[in-house]
């Protein structure tokens, strides 16, 4: 991945990255004629990346979305984060999607508290030191305006006296709460975090709680 603080794209270009068109699937039984299954879900805020929860009171889980049987999350997305979550029924495929050695880039739109300057963006790009070690170089840019997104429930609490901004952050690692810790380390606390793409897969037109099935044969080693 090339590291660089890039110029923000115009507001008109801030729609979701779009992959090849494919129909949105709502809860139903699906058979893929024996092919490996890859499901793209727009995980809502407040939902765990698992199918059960034993806490009291229990949190929302993936069980409420009528996903195909036997799939599980390939990687995780924190309960307070939103966006693209990949699920599969195949262990080797899940490994290829999540192992950092395969360098599947993950792209996030991140609302931060503060007014990012060039030095903060460059630090995120070069890599910052976290308590579990330095991060790899990342692609980071400030978005010219807020991207087109669904309303979050509950809404983000923004302090009127403090500015906020949106960043696009692309990383190839997958540490626990990594993007949030990265922005906090340079003085830019994360207010909202939405994952919009993993490798070649994008949210496209998926709304929160919607999912679609993709062809798992599209998985290729990163070059």
pLDDT given at position 18:
43
Beta strand pairing call for 133-134 and 139-142:
unpaired
**What is the value of pTM for the model shown?**
0.85
pLDDT given at position 96:
86
Cβ partners under 8 Å of residue 131, min gap 6? none
Q: Could you tell me the two tokens for 135?
A: 């991060």
Q: Which of 211, 171, 193, 178 is nearest to 87 (CA)?
A: 211
Q: Could you tell me the two tokens for 38?
A: 């890859």
Q: Distance between CA 140 and CA 44 in Å, rounded?
A: 24
pLDDT given at position 28:
30
pLDDT given at position 79:
96
pLDDT given at position 165:
97
Helix axes 178-185, 118-126, angle to 10 degrees: 140
Q: Are 68 and 81 within 8 A, CB to CB?
A: no
* DSSP code at position 20: S
| SS3 (DSSP) at 185 | helix
Q: Which residues are catalytic?
A: 78
Residues lower than pLDDT 50 in the chain:
10, 12-13, 18-33, 220-223
Domains of the chain (ranges, CATH numbers): 4-217 (3.30.2350.10)
């Amino acid at each position: 991945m090339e590291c660089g603080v890039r110029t923000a794209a115009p507001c008109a270009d801030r729609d979701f990255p779009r992959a090849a068109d494919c129909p949105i699937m709502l809860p139903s039984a699906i058979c893929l004629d024996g092919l490996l299954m890859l499901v793209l879900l727009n995980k809502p805020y407040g939902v765990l990346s698992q199918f059960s929860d034993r806490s009291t009171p229990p949190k929302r889980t993936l069980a409420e979305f009528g996903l195909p049987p036997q799939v599980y999350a390939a990687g995780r997305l924190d309960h307070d984060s939103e966006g693209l979550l990949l699920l599969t029924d195949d262990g080797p495929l899940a490994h290829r999607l999540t192992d950092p050695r395969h360098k599947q880039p993950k792209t996030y739109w991140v609302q931060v508290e503060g007014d990012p300057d060039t030095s903060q963006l460059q630090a995120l790009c070069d890599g910052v030191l976290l308590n579990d070690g330095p991060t790899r170089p990342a692609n980071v840019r400030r978005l010219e305006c807020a991207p087109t997104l669904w309303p979050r429930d509950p809404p983000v609490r923004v302090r009127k006296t403090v500015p906020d901004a949106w960043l696009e952050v692309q990383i190839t690692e997958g540490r626990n709460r990594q993007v949030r810790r990265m922005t906090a380390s340079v003085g830019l606390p994360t207010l909202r975090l939405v994952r919009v793409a993993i490798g070649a897969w994008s949210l496209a037109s998926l709304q929160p709680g919607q999912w679609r099935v993709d062809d798992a044969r599209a998985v290729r080693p990163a070059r």
